[in-house]
């Protein structure tokens, strides 16, 4: 595949150059400590590589939703020490009151984090004066934050038009993986789409039916499709007002030669809590006072057989209410099948979205997938077939 974006390999000499690197440092914190440093670790490769090459690395990032106001609780000063610990070298905090002055004193190979980009109301508006203010701080621009690329903000999109722009290592890996999964995948391709509601994933489903050979629908959203096919889903989570839309999607799939897989056996309970009494039943045997909370074992086995015939898998959303045992069973089982097939070399597997990553971690297989994207909104928009502004700006 010919790549249509430039990477760190195309930057030429960076020694002594000021490189603005957009990262996603929006980490969860409690009592002043970072509770999950995944995003900090993901930023290390690009920052370290540029610093090793002698660049003055100025990291740009947002933190929380300060809505254009200065807010000390959302200062990136809070993330500077944790990032320094993960990076394993000193990191300077750059207050945006005198950013140019501080940057002028930076040495070659030094790393700094500029204050929260969203303290400036122009960031989210992609305001020209904000883009100019940031562009004046650097010579080159690197976007390494795929997870923020669905927003056309000054630091994620505007800067790419002002400075020579490159994809960071994390962005590069993400774009390559996504291209293998949906851009130019090896067929047959399967998509697993699960999660709570159809309404949040309508565009994903509509796009996928035209792209993939097998569409596996699970989770609460499968109930709306089952209802559309005349199944009585009892007390299950179900968007009854969307059964017409579900039918349209099934019709579109039919026309596109995409096989849609809905569960035919399910695990049901009368109460939604951990380890309640459960029954495994055919979808036509759900009682009025029961809820479908997971895909059943027979359907799960059939889905595993589908994956065995496929070369590519893209996965978003759990097959059941996986946070509550035993309704994680189908998700864990299918995730393990996908991981085993990936290890054997017969499947390229790409998964993304917050809940999906949590589910794969629960199954202990996140490391065995070909690629796991921690991007939530950006991953979904990409699955919808939308052009992400931050990516498009790199592809000019």
Q: Among all residues, which ones are annotated catalytic?
A: 39, 197, 354, 377
Residue 294, both tokens: 């997971």
Neighbours of 282 (CB within 10 A): 14
CA 203 vs CA 210, 224, 305, 312, 382: distances in Å: 12, 15, 27, 21, 10
- Counting residues that bind ligand AMP (by CB under 6 A) gives 17
> Across-strand partners of 163?
none
CA distance 70 to 96: 11
CB of residue 123 vs ligand AMP: minimum separation in angstroms?
A: 27
Smaller CB distance to ligand AMP: residue 322 or 371? 322
217 scored as a contact of ligand AMP (CB under 6 A): no
With contact defined as beta carbons under 8 Å apart, do 193 and 201 qualify?
yes
Smaller CB distance to ligand AMP: residue 181 or 293? 293
Residue 365, both tokens: 């297989």
Q: Can you say which residues are annotated as belonging to the binding site for substrate?
A: 24-26, 39, 62-65, 118, 151
Residue of 66, 112, 185, 219 that binds ligand AMP (CB under 6 A): 219
Residue of 212, 237, 299, 339 that binds ligand AMP (CB under 6 A): 237
> Across-strand partners of 364?
none
82 scored as a contact of ligand AMP (CB under 6 A): no
Residue of 292, 338, 351, 394 that binds ligand AMP (CB under 6 A): 292
CB of residue 351 vs ligand AMP: minimum separation in angstroms?
A: 12
Smaller CB distance to ligand AMP: residue 46 or 245? 245
281 scored as a contact of ligand AMP (CB under 6 A): no
CA atoms 230, 235, 238, 240: torsion sign? positive
CB of residue 234 vs ligand AMP: minimum separation in angstroms?
A: 11
CA distance 70 to 92: 19
Q: Which helix (H) or strand (E) holds 348?
A: strand 348-352
390 scored as a contact of ligand AMP (CB under 6 A): no
Interacting residue ranges for ligand AMP, rule: CB under 6 A? 195-197, 200, 219-220, 237, 292-293, 317-318, 320-323, 353, 355
């Amino acid at each position: 595949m010919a790549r249509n974006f430039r990477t760190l390999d195309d930057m030429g000499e960076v020694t002594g150059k000021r490189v603005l690197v957009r990262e996603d440092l929006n980490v969860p914190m409690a009592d002043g400590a970072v509770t999950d440093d995944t995003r900090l670790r993901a930023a290390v490769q690009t920052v370290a590589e540029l610093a090793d090459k002698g660049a003055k690395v100025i990291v740009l990032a947002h933190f929380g939703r300060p809505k254009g106001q200065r807010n000390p609780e959302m200062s990136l000063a809070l993330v500077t020490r944790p990032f320094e610990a993960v990076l394993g070298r000193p990191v300077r905090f750059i207050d945006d009151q005198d950013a140019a002055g501080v940057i002028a004193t930076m040495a070659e190979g030094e790393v700094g984090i500029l204050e929260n980009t969203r303290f400036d109301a122009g960031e989210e508006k992609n305001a020209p004066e904000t883009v100019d203010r940031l562009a004046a701080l650097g010579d080159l621009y690197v976007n390494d934050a795929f997870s923020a690329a669905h927003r056309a903000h000054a630091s994620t999109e505007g800067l790419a038009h002002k400075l020579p722009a490159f994809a960071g290592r994390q962005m590069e890996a993400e774009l390559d993986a996504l291209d293998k999964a949906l851009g130019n995948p090896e067929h047959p391709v399967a998509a697993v789409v699960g999660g709570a509601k159809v309404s949040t994933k309508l565009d994903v489903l509509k796009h996928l039916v035209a792209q993939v050979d097998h569409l596996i629908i699970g989770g609460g959203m499968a109930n709306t499709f089952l209802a559309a096919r005349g199944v009585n889903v009892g007390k299950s989570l179900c968007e009854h007002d969307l059964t017409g839309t579900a039918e349209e999607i099934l019709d579109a799939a039919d026309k596109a030669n995409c096989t849609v897989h809905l569960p035919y056996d399910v695990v049901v309970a009368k109460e939604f809590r951990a380890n309640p009494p459960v029954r495994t039943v055919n979808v036509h045997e759900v009682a009025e006072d029961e809820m479908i909370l997971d895909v059943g074992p027979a359907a799960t086995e059939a889905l595993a057989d589908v994956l065995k015939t496929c070369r590519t898998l893209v996965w978003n959303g759990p097959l059941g209410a996986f946070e509550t045992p035993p309704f994680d069973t189908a998700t864990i089982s299918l995730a393990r099948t996908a991981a085993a097939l990936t290890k054997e070399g017969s499947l390229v597997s790409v998964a993304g979205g917050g809940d999906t990553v949590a589910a794969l971690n629960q199954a202990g297989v996140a490391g065995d997938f070909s690629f796991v994207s921690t991007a939530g909104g950006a991953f979904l928009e990409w699955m919808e077939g939308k052009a992400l502004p931050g990516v498009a700006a790199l592809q000019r």
